Amino acid sequence: MNKTLSKTLLLIAFLVLILIFPNLGSMHWNRVLIEIFIWSVVSLGFRLILTAGQLSLAQVSFMGLGAYTVAILTTQAHLNYWICFPLAGIFTGFFAMIIGYISLRTRGIHFALATFAISEVIRLIWIEWKTLFGGVGGIPNIPSPNPLLGLKFGSIPSFYYFAFVVLFFTALVMYRLSQSRFGMILLTLEKSENLSQSVGVNTFRYKLIAFIAGSFFAGLGGAVHSTFFHYVGPEDFSIHQTFYVLIYVITGGANSIFGTLLGVSSLILGLKLIHHLPNFNPVWEPLFLGGVLLAVMKFKPEGVISLLQSVTRKNGLERKQ
Amino acid sequence: MDSFLFFQSLINGLVMAMVIILVALGLNLVFGIMNIVNLAHGELYMLGAYLLWWIAVQNELPYFYGFAVSIAVIAVLGIVLEKAFFKGVRGETLPGLLISIGLILSLQTVALLLFGEQPRGVPAPALLKGVFRISGVMISKERLAVIIVTLGCLVLMYLFINRLRVGKAIQAVAQDPDAAALQGISINNISSLVMALGAALAAISGCLMGTINPITSTVGAQPLLEALVVIVLGGLGSIPGTIVGGLFVGLVKGFMGSYMTSTVASITVYLMLFILLIFKPSGLFGRE
């Protein structure tokens, strides 16, 4: 059997397994898989921005923008969820366009720290502007998605399929992008931004598009998150969760879409497994992920570092002697 | 009444400025030598405050004993972190950033497990209780102590960096690590020393604030981000720049905090960081 065929068969078997899972697994594991789908969408967006050579520490805050958009539009304006869902992505992408237009002139550590600052600003605005965002308490009672074409989304298995479709769509777009001219140009940006610039590529434009697209998917992920948990709050979308996404992507390997999906699934499963340890305490979660990151950086940094060098690499002239 | 609020804001701003200056000074030193932005620097501040609480409140030992032990322990922790994690990525900014993110998550959990989840506070020792009056203006002695201790640290640091041989070695490494190594300066030892110094300064500011603000596991993030503003504003490796930048940020926080809310003050400072990083990026890398 040739290699492509066996790969395709494996993929189909895996898809079938995912599709029949709600009939096999318990409610608990259904919920876990939904969480994995949501964070995969956000992580794939993060990875797209990283492929363009930018480390965005505002990814989960942007996810929160999508989540809050849905929360406000469904609880206060009583709009249909299926109108809010694309709006969440579009609004987040629009916000990213403004932030990106200002900040993408910098790169490396400057961009990372600038997005860190923006992430804190967004979180503090959620806390401060109580009438719109509900302050520290957030916004509760977000309804389940409205029925669509006769399908209802109130139960966990039906929601599972909805979340999976969102992930499938995201992964498909990411795959198509990576095969397109756009994806090729992003790869050259990662290798050498100066060289692409010198052959006439408007690198700023491509970085901006990658940033907008990556943030758009963060917003979509947030839109699924808020209606799944029926709640949004500032601490759900803090810088810590961005650190988590960063760890999922770095651990799985940011070089491929598959690696990212693998990183998200294995680490979230790991997090759920430590829940079963005796004397489990929720504060172990950051220690677990922080430990994973430290171990990756300490024992297997080659993959990470080669990727990061492209992020760190600056114009030859700027380079510190 | 209005002038009362004004002076109160001024004093609060000065106290906050002192804390930010101490944190920024350590962060600046570490960045200058290792080219690493140690985001976990705020966690050293947090652990310093917790240690003081653990010794002085939990174990009821004298306050000043707790202060000294906390500084020493955090300085040693700084060396351990340098040897175990930062050594391998010295000079590489983004891998260093990732390691510091791993340390933030780990150290915050360690603090929660060791010191509990409820906020902690340290009462001021007898010596620092009460208020000090200068022509009608009142200032609590603990706040006065923050200002005096910080000024003392600044003078000591200045003398250390400029007068002592080892201080000059630090300057040499900051200017050109290769040339410094050729002169027989051990980059390893200087890096450890700088981490220890930075950690000790963070612990000092943590202990000073431990009597004024409640201590929680996430208390380190704010001084860290503010210290980043100061570094970008004041320039890398410049002690006078750090002082001016720290005073500016502290006073902005003090006045906005009392005339508006402290959240609005923080939003302003972080927006400042965003704008400075984009429009004045030389602040972080600008060593001419």
pLDDT per residue as tens digits for the range A196-246: 777 677 788 888 999 999 999 999 999 999 999 999 999 999 999 999 999
Query: Within a domain: residue A63?
Result: yes
Q: Does B104 touch chain A (CB under 8 A)?
A: yes
Between CA A128 and CA B261 the distance in angstroms is 9
* Residue of B85, B90, B98 to mutate, interface with A, max A Cβ within 10 Å: B98
Q: What angle do CA A168, A173, A177 make, to 5 degrees?
A: 150
Query: Cα(first)–Cα(last) distance of chain B, in Å?
Result: 48
Residues B39, B228 contacting (CB under 8 angstroms)? no
Between CA B191 and CA B78 the distance in angstroms is 10
Instruction: Please give the structure tokens belonging to residue A177.
Output: 């992008």
Give the dihedral sign, CA B47/B49/B51/B53. negative
pTM of this prediction?
A: 0.90
Query: Within a domain: residue A282?
Result: no
Instruction: Please give the structure tokens belonging to residue B158.
Output: 């200045």
Instruction: State whether residue B97 is helix, strand or coil.
Output: helix
Cβ pair A311:B117 closer than 8 A: no
Q: Does B97 touch chain A (CB under 8 A)?
A: yes
Cβ pair A118:B274 closer than 8 A: yes
Q: Does B268 touch chain A (CB under 8 A)?
A: no
Cβ pair A128:B88 closer than 8 A: no
Q: Does B273 touch chain A (CB under 8 A)?
A: yes
List of long-range contacts for A303-308, beta carbons under 8 Å, 24+ apart: A303/A253, A303/A255, A304/A250, A304/B95, A304/B98, A305/B92, A305/B95, A307/A50, A307/A190, A307/A254, A307/A255, A308/B92, A308/B94, A308/B95, A308/B98
Between CA B251 and CA B13 the distance in angstroms is 4
Chain A residue numbers with beta carbons less than 8 Å from the beta carbon of B103 are 290, 294
Query: Within a domain: residue A297?
Result: no
Query: Within a domain: residue A279?
Result: no
- In the predicted model, is pLDDT for residue A24 greater than 90? no
Average per-residue pLDDT for chain B: 88
Residues B44, B74 contacting (CB under 8 angstroms)? yes
Query: What pLDDT is recorded for position A314?
Result: 42
Query: Within a domain: residue A257?
Result: no
The boundaries of the domain holding residue A47 are: 28-238
Q: Does B265 touch chain A (CB under 8 A)?
A: no
CA atoms lying within 13 Å on the CB side of residue B233: 27
Nearest CB to A294: which of B85, B263, B284?
B85
Query: What pLDDT is recorded for position B285?
Result: 53
Percentage of residues in chain A with pLDDT exceeding 90? 44
Between CA A14 and CA A8 the distance in angstroms is 10
Q: Which residues of A260-280 are buried (b: 16+ CB within 10 A; e: fewer)?
A: bbbbbbebbeebeeeeeeeee
Query: CA-CA distances (angstroms) from residue B153 to B51, B183, B207, B217, B248?
Result: 20, 29, 14, 25, 19
Query: What pLDDT is recorded for position A311?
Result: 54
Query: What pLDDT is recorded for position A209?
Result: 92
Query: Within a domain: residue A226?
Result: yes
Q: Does A270 touch chain B (CB under 8 A)?
A: no
Query: What pLDDT is recorded for position B74?
Result: 96
Query: Within a domain: residue A69?
Result: yes
What residue in B sits closest to A53 (Cα-Cα)? B94
Q: pLDDT digits over B243-252, tens only?
A: 888 999 999 9
Domain residue spans of chain B: 12-220
Nearest CB to A286: which of B84, B105, B287?
B105
Instruction: State whether residue A263 is helix, strand or coil.
Output: helix
Average per-residue pLDDT for chain A: 85
Query: Within a domain: residue A256?
Result: no
The number of domains in chain A is 1
Query: What pLDDT is recorded for position B240?
Result: 83
Report CA A318 to chain centroid distance, whole Å: 31
Q: Give φ, ψ of B134 to 5 degrees.
A: -125, 110
Instruction: Kindly tell me the number of DSSP H helices and DSSP E strands found in chain A.
Output: 14, 0
Nearest CB to A113: which of B92, B277, B287?
B277
Q: Does A98 touch chain B (CB under 8 A)?
A: no
Q: Does A183 touch chain B (CB under 8 A)?
A: no
Tell me if ipTM is over 0.85.
yes
